[in-house]
Amino acid sequence: MKTFVIFVVSDSLSEIGELLVKAGKSCFERSIKDVRFHPFVDDKQSIDSVLELAKKENGLIVYTIYSLELKDYMDSESKRLGIPTYDVMGSLVETLKNLTGEEPVRDHKMFSELDAQYFKKVEAIEFAVKYDDGKNTSNLDKADIILIGASRTSKTPISIYLANKNYKVANIPLIPEVEPPPELFKISNKKIFGLLLDPNQLVNIRSERLKAMGITGTSNYGSYERVIMELEKSQQLFDKLGCTVIDVTSKAIEEIAAIILENIIRR
């Protein structure tokens, strides 16, 4: 019976690969010595480094790479070096069975539940990306949760956090000069959450953002007067919609998400 190390590789975060490997490892505890995680492998040099480690340690590489160029490179180089790989779209258990010669301990209920959770999470993350920052406002009724608020009120990080909890989230920035999407008035306000932030804190956040972008000097975006005006306009829209309003000042993303989910579940 062979033993080996699994390398979970991704050009972003490795949560999806990690989820699958945990299920596969539970069937092959005697054969798998270790599982190592390598997120943000986003260039050929990084792939070469992981391949070198896998070659030395009798490794299997389980990867989630979205760049077609890097995926092709991983495939060609791993074949050249004789390193087994597994793309998350394939069957991990069958790959492990072929490598180890060990018959898997199959729990059909566990794997069916894993498949359902995996695809639901992927669908939610894809939805959050598609509907981030107002990029898409069609079919908003398909969202489980809609976040609205002025720029830099934590809409995107909250969306991604909730997507990892399998909720489909859309977020829409509120800009006084731009009319809010009419779709907001056609769906249940129970899905909509308005986000507010202390104006002084929002000014500081925007100022730091401008610095990070290399923008110096005065900017209307980061001025106190502009922030006050945006927050007042946001509150007017929240009142018109009758949606739940959350003051996110000094709250962690997890805390804000918990408040949202508590409201969703209660309803």
DSSP reduced 3-state for 239:
helix
CB 8 within 8 A of CB 21: yes
Residue 84 lies inside a defined structural domain of this protein:
yes
Residues 86 and 32 both lie in one domain? yes
Residues 143 and 241 both lie in one domain? yes
Tokens 């956040």 appear where? 205
Give the dihedral of Cα atoms 201, 203, 209, 210; nearest 10 deg: -160
Residue 217 lies inside a defined structural domain of this protein:
yes
What backbone torsions phi and psi does residue 186 show, to the nearest 5 degrees?
A: -105, -5
Residues 83 and 143 both lie in one domain? no
Length of the chain: 267
Tens of each residue's pLDDT in the chain, 267 residues? 678 899 999 876 556 677 677 767 767 778 888 889 888 888 999 999 999 999 999 999 999 887 778 988 999 999 999 999 988 755 565 677 788 887 766 554 554 555 567 678 888 888 998 899 898 888 899 999 999 999 999 999 999 999 988 999 999 999 999 999 999 999 999 999 999 999 999 999 998 888 877 877 777 998 999 999 999 999 999 999 999 999 999 999 999 999 999 998 887
Residue 111 lies inside a defined structural domain of this protein:
no
Domains identified in the chain, total number:
2
Residue 36 lies inside a defined structural domain of this protein:
yes
Distance CA 88, CA 221 (A): 43
Residue 242 lies inside a defined structural domain of this protein:
yes
Q: Which domain holds residue 72?
A: 4-106
Residues 200 and 141 both lie in one domain? yes
The residue type at 38: H
Distance CA 154, CA 71 (A): 32
Distance CA 10, CA 37 (A): 9
Q: Residue 125 sits in a domain of what CATH number?
A: 3.40.50
Residues 57 and 184 both lie in one domain? no
Residues 128 and 46 both lie in one domain? no
Residue 69 lies inside a defined structural domain of this protein:
yes
